[in-house]
Structure 1
Amino acid sequence: MRKRLIMVLTGILSCIGTTLAQNTVSGLVISQEDNLPVVGATVTIEGTHSGTTTNSEGHFTLSVPSLTVVLKISCLGMNTETIPIEGRSNIKIRLFSQNKTLDDVVVVAYGTTRKSSYTGAASFVKSDAIKDVPVTSFENALTGKVAGLQVTNASGQLGGTPSLRIRGIGSMNASNDPLYVIDGVPVVSGNVGQMSSELYATNNIMNSLNPEDIESISVLKDAAASALYGSRAANGVILITTKKGKYGKPKVNLKMTYGFSPSWATKNYEPASVQSQVDMMYQVYYDANYDAKKKDAAEIASTTALKWLNESFNEHGYQLTADGTGRYQDIHISEYDHSGRGGKYYDWEKAYFRSAAYQNYDFSVSGGNGITHYYSSLSYSDQQGRSRTNDFKRVSGRVNLMQKAGKFLDFTTNVSFARTRQVGFNDTRNTATNYFYEVHNLLWGMYWPTDYKTGLPYTDRYESYAYNNLYYDKLWSNNTTNTQISAMETAALHLSPGLDVKSILSYETTGVKGHLYYSPKHYQGTSTNGSVSETRTTYDDIISSTTANYNKFLGDHEFNVMAGFEAEKVTTNYTRSTGTNLANSDLQSISIAGAYDADGYKWGHSLLSVLSKADYNYKQIYYLSASYRRDGSSRLSKDNRWGNFWSVSGAWNLTNERFMKNFDRLSTLKLRMSYGINGTLPTNDYGYMSLMTFNSRYMGDPGSQLSSLASPNLSWETSHTTNIGIDFGLLRQRIRGTIEYYTRDSKNLLQDVPVSMVTGFSSILKNVGLINNHGIEVQLDGDIISNRDWLWTLSVNASFLSSKVKKLYDGEDIIWKDPTGDDNRAQFIYREGQSTLAFYGYEWAGVDKSNGNSVYYVNDPSDPKKGDFLYKGRGATYKYESANYTIIGNAIPAVSGGFCSNLKFKGFDFNLNFIYKIGGKLYDGAYKDVADDGYYWARIRAASYYKNMWTTDNPNGTQPRLQGTDLRDAIQYSSRHICSASFVRLKNLSLGYTFPSDLLKRAFISNARLFFTASNLWTWAKYKEADPEVNQYGTRGWETPICKTFTFGIDLTF
């Protein structure tokens, strides 16, 4: 009994001693931005679960074993801080919002990291860099802002799909597009279907993402940055982070923007005057009818030429006469049959195109405390294209909610909705429906939309094969509607200090509805008595992923490991129905059709992955990182289904070395190096299997046929990338820069390989090719002036790229056509040792000064002097068919990039953004039409052609003489249409003013800013015919040009 009493007393005394040994620490946690108390912040003793939370006034009280421990303070939406107590009993702690850190936290693959500790090659763009830019998709706002990222557009039509290329071209038959990831989830991207089937205006799914909802964009460029995305990351990754609620009081934001696009960015194939056109057409007809063997040859030729001209233009109210019978005559254009059109010409440019209006409204509410953060937005955009038939509208909404459920569990819910409607017209070389093509090459000013005799619309086809679409526009419709809904739920579990587990479940569905209608009265509908086509495409994407991340400090050593798995299933459903022989010309429903046709398809693929990553750093000086991912794809056979992708990287932060302390002017110096392997999948979901099509029918019974041969050995294309980089900062970071060297070998590229004709096919896909991309990237930023009132920063980036084909099947060349526009405007060749964008055609030597004929080099491989005659020491000919194709240019520039100037003075801000390209060539496919020296006589030719054309009075002309007997010369692939691709463009200019906060308080406004922007304001280029900013293949055709755009707006925060 005595022993038991002693033991109890001893325990009680021990507990009392322990309690007395505890110390109490009190403190206040406030926000660095506005000094407001941070409610619900978690305060723990580092390395333990002991802790508390701040109250409604930001205060906390915590018992600690000693006053030497370290406190860890965390709060949703703010950066975690570790604070040594160092003997203090009362502490004031400031927390930074996650976008206000001194050492930026950046979004990378499957997480975030400090920019200073990152070992990969990546560029980071904040929302401020793309705000105020009037674009339908954020992609276009990235132009010139990221070294190594090329953003181009095949068309200026609203809603079209831009091309993004990161560090060159990595595939011949698979995709060259980067992977898009939004808030940690890979998403469907790019063109989700041509508008209404046969009309070649693309439909960009990224238009569904409101640019105002974007917080930041990370562009991952090397294997160390992107290898965790494995088989989808060979062409780089675009990581998009949407806005989240920030700690503080609720903020209501309203942004309204209005604008207009009054003109094209540049002149485009400016037509010669009507008088010049008529004079030249007379000469063409004269040549075609002149026969020197006949008596009175000149009179016959002149009379016949005038007859043909009058047959074309009498019905439009014009009479054409000449004073003489020679080839070179001034043709008189006068009124015919009292038409009232003498001396008047119709302005088709003004009729078809307009000063397009732009309006955009963005409304958002955001805020948060220590427990809940929220951001919600609603947006409406209505934009007109310069063509009267091109419009784009978008309604979108988003809710991002972060909820803390106790100390150890956080939930994030992201839900978005968008509906876009795109109305467009034909963007190809189509004589009937491409209005830009018609105005600049087909619609003479002597063609009128009305019949001068009756005043009714002119409905026949003009001599140039164009139509009066002012009338026919009312008899057809063409539109595409996208509806996209996405939902993502994330649960983050904090199991122990340093150990977190995060699970994501995401679902995205996109519905694309296409509609194309031709009235029975429309020239495209007369043969079928009207037609209606409806297409429905649905994309469903389900992704589930779980990752576990563990971070641990052991003295000067920091370890971070991550492991996880991911599963994705993508399903696509497509249906098309077409009805003809419509019962009513006013209704646009298939149900009124007398005949029907329909088809449909369903396809999809799945991807299963495991992934891991390990990072280590010592004293934040030496960094090592390694990642590994194993993907299994349903697009490949069972024997080749799994692929391994990995990377290793390291960095040396010399800034933190002791021997660097005396180098005061060098504030940052870090060396990086990485190597790794990524992959690319075949684009065909079932390419390894033989496929059947069931689109044949006989007597009501279905039929089928073999549509493709099996290629069971299909495998991954693999990208092997080495990257060496240096990051530096001078003068306390007033000057900052990055220089990168990279080389990327894309191996096992898919190529069409010949097979026996007995199979019924000519080729199948096999993994045989190799392409190398290598280059240097430079990014420089500097604060030129930085004081209380002034801040002037300059930024410039440059990308030097070499992209060459290294290996082809049996070393045999591959000749291919430009796939954009469907008009075969240019021809390319893949040849070992040559550029991946090598133009292939006849080498045009120029104009023979003695006769004005085009001269072509023969380029006989056995004898360079072989030909009909010698020209400048080489074998040459007047006949292109006697010449040989050769490489005539390279579309890849020597250097490209952008430079920006951002100036702030008190409340004013003034920003300039330039883009440039130096070197490389472009192929002007449209110039074949406007500089035609004989083919299609009724075409309008450009003023520049007449100005530079050879004549007896202009023997030094650089363009060949016009010949009515030469029918094919201009349309051949030749270097006559190769031009310099170098240009500099002022892409965006913006001017803003932010009102002083003291003036706004009475109106309950916390921030107000007025702004003005101008896009595509100025361009310098050697190439003068049209816009030098061409598509990703370096070609120009008859696609709609881009516009100059001016916008005005106000941005209010309440």
Structure 2
Amino acid sequence: MKKLIFIFLSVLLVNAGMAQTRVTGKVTDSEDGSPVPYAVVVIKGLRGVGTNTDADGNYSLSNVPPDAVLVFSYVGYKTQEIPVSGRSVINVEMVTDALALDEVIVVAYGTSTKGTFTGAASVVKADAIKDVPTLSFENAMGGKIAGMQITTLSGQAGSTSSIRVRGVGSMNASNEPLYVIDGVPVISGNVTQMGIYTSSNVMSSINPNDIESITVLKDAAASALYGSRAANGVIVITTKQGKQGKPVINFKASVGITPSFATDNYEVASTEQQVELYYENFWNAGVLYDGMTSEEASASALAQLNKRFNKHGYTFSAPDHTVNSLTIGGDRAGQYFDWEDVLFRTAVYQAYDLSVSGGTEASNYYTSFSYTNDLGRSVINAFDRITGRMNFGQKIGKYIELNTNINVSSSNKEGFNDSRALGNNYFLQSRNLLWGLYWPTDYGTGLPWTARYGSYAYNPVYYNNEWENWSKTQRVFANETVTIKILPELILKSIFSFDNTQTLDHLYYSALHFSGTATQGSVSENSTKISELVSSTTLNYSKTFGGVHNVSALVGWEVAKNQTDYQRSTGTNLPTSALHTVATAGKLDASAYYWGHTLASMLSRAEYNYDNKYYASASFRRDGSSKLGPDSRWGNFWSVAGSWRIDQESFMDALSVISSLRLRASYGVNGTLPTSNYGWRSLTSYANKYMEQPGSSVSTIADADLSWETSYTSNIALEFGLFSQRLTGSLEYFNRDSKNLLQDVPLSRVTGFYTTLDNVGEINNRGLEIELYGEIMRAGDFTWSAGLTASHIKSTVTRLYGGQDIIWYEPTGDDNRTKFIYTEGQSTLAIYGLEWAGVERETGLNLWFLNNDKEPDLMVDGRPATYNYKNASEIVLGDAHPKLFGGYNTDLAWKGISLSLNFIYKLGGYTYDAPGRDINDDGYYWERIMSLDAYENRWTPLNKDARYPQRVAIDMEDVNQKSSRHMHPADFTRLKSITLAYNLPKDLLSKIRVSGARVYFNGANLWTLAAWKVYDPEVNEYGSRGWEMPIGKTYTFGIDVSF
């Protein structure tokens, strides 16, 4: 009996083996017939049985039953199921699927796909920023996202950037976006308390190589779930996670140099030209205003020159008493000190990253360590950073998953901020204060080193040993996420995070330093500790009914607590320059504060789509903040949105050229909180004394009705894909009304205060955004693609308290560099001042348009004008906002070689040139050196069509007026980044057990085309150029190796 059973089973097995066959074939693109490499081919219903196509699209699959069904799939193509029906050769043409091409994007409290998401969101992937030599990821995003302006505030190592998403939304509260890392809102912005001395960008604590993607949420439908913090947009950062498979070790190293600035920046006239201007100032003053003869004026001017520079080894003469005959003599004739060579260096940037990642079916991990060092172009500026990250995920059984993300960083920045008020601003000194006739040594005369030159200039070589300034920042950010699958369609998710930033600022002046002489030396230590706890829990439901009704819903809550602990100690009358510590000071002073705020929220979202054609969503969040009083503490923020996938309609079948077409629209409300934690309460200060006894006074007046600033945003967009997604893009219009804006309103003087904040202002931002991407060519191993972003935003003040105008000054400059006005109907960056009418051709005098009813001195271009600026009236001169801004890029690849170019541009608008009053003045500040532009374009009897007036050493005020004289077109385009890379052949690498290796070159800011060429056109968010260190041309070489 056993033998019969054995024979029967053997026959069955043989027959089964004979029934199975080998299937081969080729998978190609249905449009152009090109092979589809690495497509997945599996037998339906048999788990783990399948293969992939090779590089030429060929596949071979053994042991395929004759009645099997093969499933062909690949990213960007529609999945196809094809019955075998006994065949041994099956060729397949894959059809592109616009829905399948959708990239997964991280949105508020979850994920979505770009094709199904009803809000306005743009994504930047890690590949787009990985080669840019930057300390903070924001600096690498310029021009990549429509509607977002990124401005680099300085070329200093460790400097901060400013980001504006869809315009200006507030007058007195924050205009910065909310940052979210791995699902948690985090601390952002400048965390130092040293004012003009130094700044610290807390976002530079994140290693850009740890970032997987960056999503920018721009409208209310995308960001309303973040409620009161999301009116200015949300930047969602997702860090890298491990993937299932063997451990992957990746090492990346890059070294770069910045030998020069990216553009000319107030290039100075030569030493001979400077002396000529100096002589001309006093010669003109003597002849024109003091009634001197040319001989007397020449003698007076020469006396000034010899008095100033004889001790430096120079003498001066003018044989025929004119400027043209001026000569420089003396022991140092023809020798001039190169201050730029002393104050600046070739900056060196180096970065090293090591990461290990991997995972199994139950767990994954990603860990990294990085070190970055940037020696800035200024010899006193440097930045270094160490970061470590650990991301770990673990499944516990079938229903629970834990995820832990920890980031630790420590950074150190040295050097002062770029302030006009500080003598340590080397860019200012080299361009305006330090003559080539100045020598830092004793000149071989036996005299001591010169500490100061005249009224303005200081000797940096002398003072470099008499001060120090540094800022150290340490950050720990950790979050723990627990996900519980209660049912297949019901998931509970809870997040707890801790974000702690500690900054220590140190500032020391010896008794010999010009800032420490009056106090016999000083030292200050500032400690700032900011911590934030966030806890959120959400319940997510998602289910499909009847195969076409897709429903999802989310409900949850969130609480956040933010605390700041600040302490300052200052010591003066230092006994020695050897110890730079407060403990040794003869006189002490201190201050401190401890404050914070809390936020409690309830949130919900519902989404529905029918048959992947029609989508609708709604969200609601209710926030309560301790920053507001009991009667206005709670605010409601919500959104509604919908979209229509037009390409899924049957009437689109005949339009084969259109592969995707979607219309979406949204409307919603976001909010912004006041910056003050206690604006609704009266506060008492104990900083005052009475008769040397402790005393107190009311420092702020209460406004119990202080409330949220609210933004009402509508958005409509058309997204499209043509030629099987070879060309994709979107056209988007938005309108954002910001209401209840905080504004200073007048109070009765009997209160003891002049103004108080009230919710009365309104601003409107509306604009048009365009994003385009196209695959220009795909031919064998060669690909060529290009992209474009373009944004037009009009930002207008629509309501002010009592309709009264508000004059204000740019807050980033300690010298009040730009004057603006808020006036109803005008731009939020309306530049305000006198309208300069140019230079009178025959006299070289300044002219001003009157812009009032006063009697004119003359007519200029048919308009009343005057010689005296005091008779003229100020008006709105122009708009610092550009008319159009964005970026364009192109990528080419052939086999293992790739070339990427990324440009940014700005068209329209004006830049206010604050340093113009320093380097292009009319002659009064004769101790200062002047720019080459001032020398070449000044008025003289031989240059009557000049841009600048005649130089006279008595005109102090004209050049100092806030006027259109210092306004210039802001148009420019810049090659922000170019990358040339080569991936080494895998067959070569496999011999040395390396899975991948890539070498690359990156150039940053290598080419600039600007309408005004005197200074770097990439300026701050207020459209103002100050004495900030310009950005430089950087050349970086790197290697990226995986094992």
Partner Cα distance (2:627, 2:801) in 1: 23
What displacement does 1:260 show?
A: 0.3
What displacement does 1:590 show?
A: 1.1
Letter in 2 for 1:258: V
Partner Cα distance (1:909, 1:976) in 2: 46
Report the TM-score, using the length of structure 1 for normalisation: 0.89
Deviates more, 1:538-547 or 1:872-881: 872-881
Give the counterpart of 2:612 among 605, 616, 620.
Answer: 620
Partner Cα distance (1:84, 1:905) in 2: 33
Contact 2:709 2:742 in 1 (8 A): yes
What displacement does 1:946 show?
A: 1.8
When residues 413 and 82 of structure 1 are mapped into structure 2, their CA distance, relative to the original with a 3 A threshold, is farther
What displacement does 1:537 show?
A: 0.2
> 1:363-762 alignment to 2 at 5 Å?
363-430=354-421, 432-454=423-445, 458-555=449-546, 556-698=548-690, 701-762=693-754
Contact 1:464 1:939 in 2 (8 A): no
Partner Cα distance (1:519, 1:348) in 2: 23
Is 2:127 the counterpart of 1:138? no
Contact 2:421 2:814 in 1 (8 A): no
Give the counterpart of 1:330 among 314, 325, 330.
Answer: 325
Contact 2:357 2:367 in 1 (8 A): yes
How many equivalent residue pairs? 974
When residues 281 and 372 of structure 1 are mapped into structure 2, their CA distance, relative to the original with a 3 A threshold, is same
Aligned to 1:440, the other structure's residue is in SS state helix
Partner Cα distance (2:105, 2:351) in 1: 29
Letter in 2 for 1:402: G
Is 2:766 the counterpart of 1:770? no
What displacement does 1:956 show?
A: 1.2
Contact 2:451 2:463 in 1 (8 A): no
Contact 1:564 1:611 in 2 (8 A): yes
Aligned position for 1:60: none
What displacement does 1:102 show?
A: 4.0
Letter in 2 for 1:736: T
Partner Cα distance (2:83, 2:321) in 1: 106
Contact 2:196 2:419 in 1 (8 A): no
When residues 628 and 291 of structure 1 are mapped into structure 2, their CA distance, relative to the original with a 3 A threshold, is closer
Aligned to 1:695, the other structure's residue is in SS state coil
What displacement does 1:498 show?
A: 0.8
When residues 476 and 885 of structure 1 are mapped into structure 2, their CA distance, relative to the original with a 3 A threshold, is same
Letter in 2 for 1:252: I
Partner Cα distance (1:969, 1:649) in 2: 55
Aligned position for 1:11: none
Partner Cα distance (1:363, 1:141) in 2: 21
Give the counterpart of 2:347 among 340, 356, 366.
Answer: 356
What displacement does 1:202 show?
A: 2.2
Letter in 1 for 2:398: K
Letter in 2 for 1:1019: T
What displacement does 1:964 show?
A: 1.7
Contact 1:504 1:546 in 2 (8 A): yes
Partner Cα distance (2:434, 2:268) in 1: 10
Letter in 1 for 2:299: T
Contact 2:901 2:975 in 1 (8 A): yes
What displacement does 1:302 show?
A: 2.1
Partner Cα distance (1:1052, 1:470) in 2: 43
What displacement does 1:662 show?
A: 2.0
When residues 760 and 504 of structure 1 are mapped into structure 2, their CA distance, relative to the original with a 3 A threshold, is same
When residues 394 and 291 of structure 1 are mapped into structure 2, their CA distance, relative to the original with a 3 A threshold, is closer
Partner Cα distance (1:186, 1:54) in 2: 41
Contact 1:266 1:1019 in 2 (8 A): yes
Aligned position for 1:226: 223
Is 2:335 the counterpart of 1:344? yes
Is 2:869 the counterpart of 1:873? no
Partner Cα distance (1:1005, 1:480) in 2: 41
Partner Cα distance (1:111, 1:851) in 2: 70
Aligned position for 2:208: 211
Letter in 2 for 1:707: S
**What are the Cα deviations for residues 977-1005 of structure 1, in whole angstroms up to 9, with x where unaligned?**
11000001011011000011100012110
Partner Cα distance (2:506, 2:924) in 1: 36
Report the TM-score, using the length of structure 2 for normalisation: 0.90
When residues 139 and 997 of structure 1 are mapped into structure 2, their CA distance, relative to the original with a 3 A threshold, is same
When residues 292 and 404 of structure 1 are mapped into structure 2, their CA distance, relative to the original with a 3 A threshold, is closer
Aligned to 2:974, the other structure's residue is in SS state strand
Partner Cα distance (2:290, 2:654) in 1: 94
Partner Cα distance (1:122, 1:103) in 2: 13
When residues 198 and 176 of structure 1 are mapped into structure 2, their CA distance, relative to the original with a 3 A threshold, is closer
Partner Cα distance (2:607, 2:318) in 1: 85
User: Superposition RMSD on alpha carbons, in Å?
Assistant: 2.6
Give the counterpart of 1:314 among 305, 310, 314.
Answer: 310
Letter in 1 for 2:107: V
Partner Cα distance (1:770, 1:633) in 2: 22
Aligned to 1:502, the other structure's residue is in SS state strand
Contact 2:925 2:953 in 1 (8 A): no
Partner Cα distance (1:744, 1:951) in 2: 52
What displacement does 1:292 show?
A: 7.2
Letter in 2 for 1:503: S
Aligned to 1:116, the other structure's residue is in SS state coil
Partner Cα distance (2:290, 2:166) in 1: 63
When residues 738 and 36 of structure 1 are mapped into structure 2, their CA distance, relative to the original with a 3 A threshold, is closer
What displacement does 1:868 show?
A: 2.4
Aligned to 1:582, the other structure's residue is in SS state coil
When residues 36 and 398 of structure 1 are mapped into structure 2, their CA distance, relative to the original with a 3 A threshold, is farther
Letter in 1 for 2:143: G
Is 2:1013 the counterpart of 1:1018? no
Aligned to 2:686, the other structure's residue is in SS state strand
Contact 1:431 1:442 in 2 (8 A): no
Aligned position for 1:169: 168
* Percentage identity across paired residues of the two chains: 52
Aligned to 1:117, the other structure's residue is in SS state coil
**What are the Cα deviations for residues 999-1053 of structure 1, in whole angstroms up to 9, with x where unaligned?**
0012110000000000000000110110011110000011110011000000000
Partner Cα distance (2:895, 2:758) in 1: 62
When residues 499 and 948 of structure 1 are mapped into structure 2, their CA distance, relative to the original with a 3 A threshold, is same
Contact 2:168 2:828 in 1 (8 A): yes
Contact 1:419 1:484 in 2 (8 A): yes
Partner Cα distance (2:476, 2:100) in 1: 33
Partner Cα distance (1:293, 1:417) in 2: 68
Aligned to 1:227, the other structure's residue is in SS state helix
Partner Cα distance (2:561, 2:1034) in 1: 41
Partner Cα distance (1:512, 1:280) in 2: 47
Is 2:278 the counterpart of 1:281? yes
Aligned position for 1:996: 985
Aligned position for 2:252: 255
Letter in 2 for 1:887: V
Partner Cα distance (1:549, 1:788) in 2: 45
Aligned position for 1:26: none
**What are the Cα deviations for residues 272-305 of structure 1, in whole angstroms up to 9, with x where unaligned?**
11111111211212233447776x6433322222
Give the counterpart of 2:799 among 779, 801, 807.
Answer: 807
Give the counterpart of 1:892 among 881, 885, 888.
Answer: 881
Contact 1:427 1:821 in 2 (8 A): no
Contact 1:780 1:797 in 2 (8 A): yes
Structure 2: any 5+ residue segments left out of the alignment? Answer: 1-35, 52-66, 86-98
When residues 478 and 455 of structure 1 are mapped into structure 2, their CA distance, relative to the original with a 3 A threshold, is farther
Letter in 2 for 1:683: T
Letter in 1 for 2:881: I
Aligned to 1:954, the other structure's residue is in SS state coil
What displacement does 1:334 show?
A: 1.0
Is 2:816 the counterpart of 1:824? yes
